[in-house]
Amino acid sequence: MLVEASKLINSSIEPTVLFSTIVTLAKERLGVERGTLFFVDEAKQEIWARIPMEGDVSEIRLPMGKGIAGTVAATGETIVVDDAWADPRFDSSVDRRSGFRTRSILCVPIRNRAGRIVGVLQLLNKREGGFGESDLEFLELVSGHVAIGMENATLHLSLLEKDRMQRELALGKEIQKRLLPEPPRGIPGTEIAATSVACFEVSGDSYDFLELPSGDLGLAIADVSGKGVAAALVMSSLQAALRVAAPLDESPVRLTARLDKLIHELAGGRKYVTFFFGCYTPATGRFRYVNAGHNPPLMLRDGQVTPLGSTGVPVGLLPNAAWKEAEVVLAPGASIVFYTDGLTEATSPDDEEFGMERLSALATSLAGRAASEVTAGILAGVTAFEAGSRPADDKTLVVLRRDA
């Protein structure tokens, strides 16, 4: 009988099938009317079960320590109740709704080999007599097999959830990639290239190009503190707000203040964004900008490197922050390299950072080339420096070049 029981219990790793198999086995061997198998969710401090209802399967969850099954899960003690309605722990509302009458209850913990409680089996209404020692003995004998089946089912659910999350992240990566625009083409005397490489599936980096009502080009690059999904969500909100607000007011200072308010409200002070926004006039090379705590872009001209330093703190970092506008002129043949700290903080196998000095030297060596060649060359140089080391941050790079 035990051999057959173990075969049945381990015949499937699908939780719904496992529920049905174990309950059916208990009903046949112990002669009970109904049964429920609860899984223990330690993270949520709950027990849960899947119950067939009207051709479908419904999941129920109960707090640990509540009701008879919850008490067994919390204490690990077997409970036998001869008169359910007289026991204060019994929740009679289910009987009232369903019309079923619970008379007696046998509720036992299911322990794995390490002695940890992984589930609770609750059986209702022994058809002949009351629950006795032989019932407990049988359940004790099969509980090890039940525990193995439940742990296999839990692992199966975890793998399914992991697979679902990976599919969701892959979709998020695809959507986020589409949100990054292609560099604008056809701007007289101007060449732009951009690339972004995520450290994980989704990125907290962003860049954008906006055609402003005055005819200027709005150029933005940003980096949310942290990485992963939370950073990506904040960045998506920032990018959406930027596209709405920038055409309404071309002042980099006022635009930054609006975005600062948004990030404060959105992240509650738990996230901030280093942000750079500039307004470029192609005909003259005039470039007005605000650098809100972002890595200083590098303006390259005649072998000289001029950093466009910070003009204020990152957005979302401090209440009542203020920013200043700065201005440079991009001379013919000059270019500006915008980047995020994933480039300067890239590390070699010896844990040495790439750093600003190497980036400046590499950018200078590529000055005068096409914008696309500069982005490719810088990214290749950083990748070679990493020499196979796992990247620790997102890498984003934008190059704006004014033709000679």
**Three-state SS annotation for 216-228:** CEEEEEEEECCCH
User: Taking 60 as the threshold, does the pLDDT of residue 6 lie above it?
Assistant: no
Instruction: Considering only residues 105 and 21, tell me which one the structure prediction assigns the higher pLDDT.
Output: 105
Instruction: Considering only residues 23 and 265, tell me which one the structure prediction assigns the higher pLDDT.
Output: 265
Counts of helices then strands in the chain (DSSP H, E): 10, 16
User: Taking 80 as the threshold, does the pLDDT of residue 92 lie above it?
Assistant: yes
Two tokens, residue 327 = 């201005």
What would be the CATH architecture of the domain defined by 2-163? Answer: 2-Layer Sandwich (3.30)
Quickly state the pLDDT bin for 323 (edges 50, 70, 90). Answer: very high
pLDDT (average), residues 193-217: 86
For residue 401, what are the β-bridge partners? 191, 335
Quickly state the pLDDT bin for 281 (edges 50, 70, 90). Answer: very high
Quickly state the pLDDT bin for 17 (edges 50, 70, 90). Answer: low
Give the per-residue SS3 of 32-75. EEEEEEEEEECCCCEEEEEEEECCEEEEEEEECCCHHHHHHHHH
Q: Which of the four CATH numbers 3.40.50.10490, 1.20.1250.20, 3.30.460.10, 3.60.40.10 does domain 180-402 have?
A: 3.60.40.10
173: Cβ contacts below 8 Å, ≥ 6 apart? 198, 201, 202
The predicted pLDDT at position 16 comes to: 66
The predicted-structure confidence for 255-269, as pLDDT tens digits, reads as follows 999 999 988 887 777
The predicted pLDDT at position 266 comes to: 79
The predicted pLDDT at position 118 comes to: 86
Average pLDDT value over all residues in the chain: 85
The predicted pLDDT at position 62 comes to: 87
Output the DSSP codes for 363-404. HHHHTTS-HHHHHHHHHHHHHHHHTTPPP-S-EEEEEEEE--
The predicted pLDDT at position 115 comes to: 84
* Per-residue DSSP letter, 85: G
Q: CA geometry: angle at 142 spanning 140 and 146, to 5°?
A: 115
The predicted-structure confidence for 97-142, as pLDDT tens digits, reads as follows 778 899 999 898 888 878 888 888 888 998 888 888 888 887 777 7
User: Taking 90 as the threshold, does the pLDDT of residue 382 lie above it?
Assistant: yes
Q: Where are the domains of the chain?
A: 2-163, 180-402
